[in-house]
């Protein structure tokens, strides 16, 4: 009936596009990926936890994948890409 293309990609792979279908991993063969912010208590400024929580609540896998694509493929500077995301997420200020 037609060809089927299949690839095993990790969630942050910049090759994942919007026109792809993600299949359910009902056997749990692929492990989850998570970004875990770490901050040394000795160097934390007051309010650091609230800032990290506000970023964590808005930052998703798709956001990270798109930022990686802009850095790797489009050769944009990481600080520019991150700054644009911070502004778009309403976290600038």
The reported pLDDT for the residue numbered 44 is 85
> pLDDT tens-digit profile of 53-68?
999 999 988 899 899 9
Q: Kindly state the average pLDDT of the residues 40-54.
A: 88
Cα gap 47→55, rounded to integer Å = 13
Tell me: pLDDT of 21 over 70: yes
Structural domain boundaries in the chain? 1-93
pLDDT at 89 over 70: yes
Contact in structure between 85 and 63 (CB atoms under 8 Å): yes
High-pLDDT (> 70) share of the chain, %: 95
From CA 21, how far away is CA 32, in angstroms rounded? 18
pTM for the model: 0.70
Q: N- to C-terminal Cα distance for the chain?
A: 55
């Amino acid at each position: 009936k037609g060809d089927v293309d299949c690839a095993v990609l990790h969630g942050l792979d910049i090759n994942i596009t919007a026109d792809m279908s993600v299949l359910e991993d009902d056997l749990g063969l692929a492990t989850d990926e998570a970004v875990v912010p770490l901050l040394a208590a000795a160097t934390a400024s007051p309010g650091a936890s609230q800032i990290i929580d506000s970023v964590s609540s808005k930052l998703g896998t798709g956001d990270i994948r798109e930022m990686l694509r802009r850095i790797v493929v489009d050769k944009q500077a990481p600080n520019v890409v991150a700054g644009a995301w911070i502004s778009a997420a309403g976290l600038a200020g």
